[in-house]
Structure 1
Amino acid sequence: MLPAEHRLRTSDEFRSVVRQGVRAGRHALVIHARATPTQASRAGFVVSKAVGNAVTRNRVKRQLRHLVAGELAHTPIGVAVVVRALPPAAAGHLAEDLGQAWASALGKLGVTR
């Protein structure tokens, strides 16, 4: 689980990242990222009913939280990230898509790892 200081919580935070940030998409997910003035990077997740039933959605969220925690630890600056799961996310195999989309979003922000 992500610590509280690394989670996006309010709809305003989600909205600002999605509207003002950059976007990088892959087959199973879309990442919206925005550089923040704070040092702590934060993440939020959007998994709609289109992904599957409650059990499937929760499994996808757990997988994404685990993968994003590793990526946040290696991100050199403070970023706010919203990860939106698409219906193919229910099939699993999120690690490769997340890694590629994460690198692409950071590249668009002008950040190198």
Structure 2
Amino acid sequence: MLAAPHRLRRRVDFAATIRGGRRAARGAVVVHYGFAAAAPPVPENPEPARSATTPASAEALPPPRAGFVVSKAVGGAVVRNLVKRRLRHLVRARIDALPRGAMLVVRALPAAAERSYTELGADLDGALARATSGRRR
């Protein structure tokens, strides 16, 4: 299970990452990689706060977040949940390598149902490397 701050939950975040992010496919997964928009500025309080809040913390980007899309084309509910659990576990081990503000959507293709855990890991690593590299095709 991914920690709560690392979960991508809202439909608009999924849509923004898929539409505006970079896409890379390897084997049985497609990775959409994008960045969160900067947080809106916090209005200044006319009286300074006595807490230890720093202005930099208000503008800090959120931690990297990930979401998963596993359609019915992958298989029945049991197969979809198995694929989703495997992908979640694989991403959990790799999410700390992503920069703050990164958003990642991992979409499983129907071939993911037949892939082993290590094969899914290799596909995910290849797709992530391609999506996070600086070059475009």
TM-score by length of 1: 0.90
Question: Which deviates more, 78-87 or 100-109?
Answer: 100-109
Counting helix residues as a fraction of each chain, which structure ranks higher?
A: 1
Equivalent residue, structure 2, for 1:85? 108
Give CA deviations for 1:23-78 in whole Å, capped at 9, x if unaligned: 00112010000023424000000000000010000000000000001111222443
Gaps of 5+ in 2: 39-60
Runs of 4+ in 1 over 4 A off after TM superposition: none
Identify the match of residue 101 of structure 1 among 127, 130, 136: 127
Give CA deviations for 1:64-93 in whole Å, capped at 9, x if unaligned: 000001111222443100000000000122
Between the two proteins, the alignment pairs up a number of residues equal to: 110
Distance in structure 2 (CA, Å) of the matches to 1:71 and 1:101? 12
1:58 matched to 2:81: yes
Gaps of 5+ in 1: none
User: RMSD over aligned Cα, in angstroms?
Assistant: 1.6
Equivalent residue, structure 2, for 1:22? 22
Larger radius of gyration: 2
Identity %: 50
TM-score by length of 2: 0.75
Preserved contact between residue 33 and residue 131 of structure 2 (Cα < 8 Å): yes
Equivalent residue, structure 2, for 1:41? 64
- Relative to structure 1, is the Cα distance of residues 42 and 109 closer, same or farther in structure 2, using a 3 angstrom cutoff? farther
